[in-house]
Structure 1
């Protein structure tokens, strides 16, 4: 019996997708719920699994081809796998633990393939321990760790003198297609800069009060909230939600000739992943506690690394916070994520001499940057919004007292 395999149903915000990787070849046996193909969209990688046991009879959409929502991509012959010799099934576990044979293309997930390329490893030389011999990220990490040891042992074994390497003058280049996520990010950034009257205003905040509060209660906080760690991002999210209540234009968006004022604060938090920068959204952040914010952001980070963020996780958002400080950035001008009208940029905490009541003190300071769409937000409103965040962070009790 022939079973049609179709692309997943894409939401309205996603027009189409691209076939990223086929994990099975025509004629190979597949098991129910086994991953057979990855489809990359502008936001996430969607995994398509086999609905039944059988054999992949025909691939209709090859790697790199564009697919629409619910479009036919392959055909599976149900039950055909039952005719395969039992000996082949028994040999599979042994083969899975060995490197791919010469000329055979190993099975790699997109994340594992990218990691192998960065480490300069030949995928065919990596032993796959995943299902069906698939090479996992852990296999690549183990192979990369073993590579220096092998290289160090080589000089001991070499008895003959090594001939000097002759420079050939060749300069290698590598051309790879841009991922859909990277292409979409590039498109939106250019769109934002060409369609907005974008400005950036700066201020600086004394992080000492927040750092002292965090240092005093972080152990009790983690114990009370079942291992959730207290970071700085939750303070910025709470300060942003309070400031957005006072300045609703910063939380608004432009739709054609209309201004849409949102009666809720859905805060997007920029997270770095192997596939690029993604922005999952904290829904109704104004009602979330510090522990809920930290726990949700931690879950987003884990899902981003595993490539498990869903389209629902990243859809929407009324305001965005980007933290370039984790990478050492001291100052930057973030780009607004349309149709939002503002984005807050956090940066590295740097100790600097500051004048306090006529005395010079060394304080942990952070530059804050607010990029905004001047078509909707006036300079006075943008500066006042950023000052409100500064005041709330320098005196965290204000967030509790709502003053």
Structure 2
């Protein structure tokens, strides 16, 4: 396949750093992908997202298929032009919505029939249709169509789901065809069962992909169980390809995943939290709506270089959040995304220097201190 190339530039323990080379630019790994569900990272301009340090965005196949439709985006020049983002875009396959919208769908060997959560209209996604939608969108990294059961689930259900996903992976690969400059990633399933994960990894290797995702985690199993799975799952995937953990997560989830050999992650958490007043800092999480910030002239994080921290006080950010001003979502989202990209840059530097264990210890110790004392 001639989609992308992955160059590993350093390793410290299981943690890896490198570069994914795409036709639209390089993605430095470990990479965090902000989520642009409906062709926008909510409350952010594209150049602001790039300014946080993001090399790649995630777009959502299911939502874009329903509105404004993939066909319309294609007619208007593709997703990059449509949303004014010239760096790489990864699109998910619609598979997660198969799980999260379970009450609205019917699952068969052929694919999934959905009722739209917007207007109740019926739609079908098959592996072939998912590949077609993602081709129309023009994303650089395409995910194969899979099915993911919510955890906990019994072993029989997880095994059947994994086997179906592997059949769908083969169909996705066939439907993807030859698309120079575009990559297709396979998705490992198998719940928390090591042998099922191994079976899935072997099936994906046999099909052959440009990269491999660890799917079916961050779906309710808790961090301890997720880390237990990540202690072996990335090792089952090819060493020379990017490994992507889907839908993760909180800052300590991300650091723990990288320590276990993960190269790419995405999550709505930093942007969604920004809109609800939850702020991630080196010293942990703070809630800007709390009255303790009302008279505080200090920044959210004195070590942060984002516009919210450079130019505004906690008192101001508390005021605009309580007043429901739009600038609150803009500034807090920018801060959270900036903080996440700072974590990624810190890990890349530490892995390169061979000091990742020390970096990790300091990261956890600093967060454990908790927020600064009130004024």
Task: Give the number of the structure whose residues are more often strand, by fraction.
Answer: 1
**TM-score, L = length of structure 1:** 0.25
Point out the structure with max Rg over C-alpha.
Answer: 1
Which structure is higher in RCO with an 8 Å CA cutoff and minimum separation 6? 2
